[in-house]
Structure 1
Protein backbone atom coordinates (compact mmCIF):
# COMPACT_ATOMS: atom_id res chain seq x y z
CA UNK A 1 0.00 0.00 0.00
CA UNK A 2 2.81 2.41 0.84
CA UNK A 3 4.46 1.84 -2.55
CA UNK A 4 1.25 2.77 -4.35
CA UNK A 5 1.10 6.02 -2.40
CA UNK A 6 4.69 6.76 -3.38
CA UNK A 7 3.93 6.25 -7.07
CA UNK A 8 0.87 8.48 -7.00
CA UNK A 9 3.02 11.30 -5.64
CA UNK A 10 5.20 11.19 -8.72
CA UNK A 11 2.15 11.00 -10.96
CA UNK A 12 1.31 14.48 -9.74
CA UNK A 13 4.84 15.62 -10.60
CA UNK A 14 4.38 14.22 -14.11
CA UNK A 15 1.09 16.09 -14.51
CA UNK A 16 2.77 19.29 -13.29
CA UNK A 17 5.65 18.88 -15.76
CA UNK A 18 3.24 18.25 -18.62
CA UNK A 19 1.23 21.30 -17.60
CA UNK A 20 4.35 23.46 -17.50
CA UNK A 21 5.27 22.22 -20.98
CA UNK A 22 1.80 23.11 -22.26
CA UNK A 23 2.03 26.55 -20.64
CA UNK A 24 5.33 27.15 -22.42
CA UNK A 25 4.02 26.04 -25.81
CA UNK A 26 0.56 27.66 -25.65
CA UNK A 27 1.36 30.98 -23.96
CA UNK A 28 1.55 33.12 -27.12
CA UNK A 29 -1.11 31.31 -29.15
CA UNK A 30 -3.92 30.48 -26.72
CA UNK A 31 -3.56 32.39 -23.47
CA UNK A 32 -6.89 31.16 -22.02
CA UNK A 33 -5.82 27.53 -22.41
CA UNK A 34 -2.44 28.36 -20.88
CA UNK A 35 -4.14 29.78 -17.77
CA UNK A 36 -6.01 26.51 -17.36
CA UNK A 37 -2.72 24.63 -17.39
CA UNK A 38 -1.26 27.11 -14.88
CA UNK A 39 -4.07 26.08 -12.56
CA UNK A 40 -3.36 22.37 -13.19
CA UNK A 41 0.35 22.87 -12.51
CA UNK A 42 -0.26 24.67 -9.22
CA UNK A 43 -2.79 22.08 -8.03
CA UNK A 44 -0.54 19.19 -9.06
CA UNK A 45 2.45 20.58 -7.18
CA UNK A 46 0.31 21.23 -4.10
CA UNK A 47 -1.12 17.70 -4.28
CA UNK A 48 2.41 16.26 -4.54
CA UNK A 49 3.44 17.89 -1.27
CA UNK A 50 0.12 17.04 0.40
CA UNK A 51 0.33 13.37 -0.60
CA UNK A 52 3.99 13.14 0.43
CA UNK A 53 3.21 14.60 3.85
CA UNK A 54 0.24 12.23 4.25
CA UNK A 55 2.37 9.19 3.26
CA UNK A 56 5.12 10.08 5.70
CA UNK A 57 2.59 10.47 8.53
CA UNK A 58 1.12 7.10 7.61
CA UNK A 59 4.59 5.48 7.61
CA UNK A 60 5.46 7.03 10.99
CA UNK A 61 2.20 5.84 12.50
CA UNK A 62 2.76 2.30 11.22
CA UNK A 63 6.36 2.29 12.44
CA UNK A 64 5.32 3.53 15.91
CA UNK A 65 2.52 0.95 16.15
CA UNK A 66 4.90 -1.91 15.34
CA UNK A 67 7.20 -1.11 18.27
Structure 2
Protein backbone atom coordinates (compact mmCIF):
# COMPACT_ATOMS: atom_id res chain seq x y z
CA UNK A 1 0.00 0.00 0.00
CA UNK A 2 2.94 2.33 0.56
CA UNK A 3 3.96 2.09 -3.09
CA UNK A 4 0.61 3.40 -4.25
CA UNK A 5 1.06 6.51 -2.10
CA UNK A 6 4.51 7.10 -3.56
CA UNK A 7 3.19 6.80 -7.10
CA UNK A 8 0.25 8.98 -6.16
CA UNK A 9 2.61 11.89 -5.50
CA UNK A 10 4.67 11.08 -8.57
CA UNK A 11 1.72 12.30 -10.64
CA UNK A 12 2.09 15.75 -9.06
CA UNK A 13 5.79 15.73 -9.95
CA UNK A 14 4.95 14.88 -13.55
CA UNK A 15 2.31 17.61 -13.63
CA UNK A 16 4.89 20.18 -12.50
CA UNK A 17 7.33 18.96 -15.16
CA UNK A 18 4.71 19.23 -17.90
CA UNK A 19 3.69 22.71 -16.75
CA UNK A 20 7.35 23.76 -16.76
CA UNK A 21 7.72 22.34 -20.27
CA UNK A 22 4.68 24.25 -21.51
CA UNK A 23 5.86 27.51 -19.94
CA UNK A 24 9.40 27.17 -21.29
CA UNK A 25 8.13 26.48 -24.82
CA UNK A 26 5.75 29.42 -24.55
CA UNK A 27 8.54 31.75 -23.45
CA UNK A 28 10.92 30.65 -26.20
CA UNK A 29 8.52 30.38 -29.16
CA UNK A 30 5.43 32.28 -28.08
CA UNK A 31 3.29 29.28 -29.00
CA UNK A 32 1.00 27.56 -26.53
CA UNK A 33 2.00 23.90 -26.29
CA UNK A 34 -1.30 22.12 -25.68
CA UNK A 35 -0.02 18.53 -25.30
CA UNK A 36 2.00 19.46 -22.21
CA UNK A 37 -0.92 21.38 -20.74
CA UNK A 38 -3.28 18.46 -21.35
CA UNK A 39 -0.84 15.95 -19.85
CA UNK A 40 -0.41 18.17 -16.79
CA UNK A 41 -4.17 18.39 -16.35
CA UNK A 42 -4.47 14.62 -16.75
CA UNK A 43 -1.74 14.01 -14.16
CA UNK A 44 -3.49 16.30 -11.66
CA UNK A 45 -6.81 14.54 -12.32
CA UNK A 46 -5.24 11.11 -11.80
CA UNK A 47 -3.62 12.32 -8.55
CA UNK A 48 -6.98 13.34 -7.05
CA UNK A 49 -8.73 10.28 -8.48
CA UNK A 50 -6.22 7.86 -6.94
CA UNK A 51 -6.21 9.77 -3.66
CA UNK A 52 -9.99 9.54 -3.40
CA UNK A 53 -10.12 5.85 -4.16
CA UNK A 54 -7.22 5.00 -1.86
CA UNK A 55 -9.19 6.60 0.98
CA UNK A 56 -12.21 4.50 0.01
CA UNK A 57 -10.18 1.30 0.08
CA UNK A 58 -8.56 2.24 3.40
CA UNK A 59 -11.96 2.89 4.94
CA UNK A 60 -13.29 -0.41 3.58
CA UNK A 61 -10.30 -2.33 4.96
CA UNK A 62 -10.63 -0.71 8.39
CA UNK A 63 -14.35 -1.48 8.69
CA UNK A 64 -13.80 -5.26 8.52
TM normalised by structure 2 equals 0.89
CA deviations 1:13-65 (Å, max 9, x no partner) are 01100001001100141736x21000000000000000000111111011111
Q: Which residue of 1 aligns with 2:31?
A: 31
Q: Which residue of 1 aligns with 2:47?
A: 48
Q: Which residue of 2 aligns with 1:18?
A: 17
Higher relative contact order (CA 8 A, sep 6+): 1
Runs of 4 or more consecutive aligned structure 1 residues displaced over 6 Å after TM superposition? none
Q: Note the C-alpha offset of 1:5.
A: 1.2
Q: 1:44 and 1:62 mapped to 2: Cα distance? A: 27
Unaligned 5+ residue runs, structure 2? none
TM normalised by structure 1 equals 0.85
